[in-house]
Amino acid sequence: MATRLFDPYAVLGLKPTATSDEITRAYRSQVRALHPDTRATPQAIPHVDEQLRRVLAAYALLRDPERRARYDRAAARYDRYRRYRAANRSPTAPPTPAKTTNNLNWADALGIMGLTVSFRAKAAFRVR
C-alpha cells in the first residue's frame, strides 16, 4: 500500500479489515496509554500530545461507518493512482521538468475567463 499523509489504520495499529470492536479496543488502549490523566508522566510532552491528537482523529474517522467507507474509497483510489504512476514511469527517465512559461496568449486567457474576442479582418473581406 502506498504511503499516505494520514493513515488512521496505521495510527491505531490496525489492518484495514478491522471490525468496529477491534477499532474501539485499539482506540481505548492507546488513549489509556497517552492521555495525561492516565500516563506515568502527567506533564505536557509535545510529541505524546500530538500522538494523542492523531489517535483521537483516527477514531473519529473510523468509528462512523459512512466516513470510514468514504475514506476507504479515497485511499483505494489514491493507491491505484500511485501504482499506475509507478508502472508508467521509466526508471531511467528524468523527472518531468516544471513548466516555466505560459503557453496561453491573451485571447486564450480571455476565453478561459468567459469573455469572447472578435476580430475584424477588413482586408480579408474586401470586395473588389
Whether residue 94 lies inside any domain: the answer is no
Per-residue pLDDT band at 92 (split at 50, 70, 90): low
Alpha helices by DSSP H, listed for the chain, are 8-12, 20-34, 46-62, 65-88, 106-112
CATH number at residue 83: 1.10.287.110
Whether residue 104 lies inside any domain: the answer is no
Whether residue 76 lies inside any domain: the answer is yes
Task: Give residue-wise pLDDT tens across range 38-78.
Answer: 877 777 788 888 999 999 999 999 999 999 999 999 989 98
The total number of structural domains that make up the chain:
1
Whether residue 3 lies inside any domain: the answer is no
- Does the model's pTM come out above 0.75? no
Whether residue 36 lies inside any domain: the answer is yes
Whether residue 109 lies inside any domain: the answer is no
Range of the domain at 68: 8-88
**Is 59 exposed, middle or buried (CB count within 10 Å of its CB: 0-12, 13-18, 19+)?**
buried
The percentage of the chain sitting over the pLDDT mark of 70, rounded to a whole number, equals 65
Whether residue 84 lies inside any domain: the answer is yes
Whether residue 67 lies inside any domain: the answer is yes
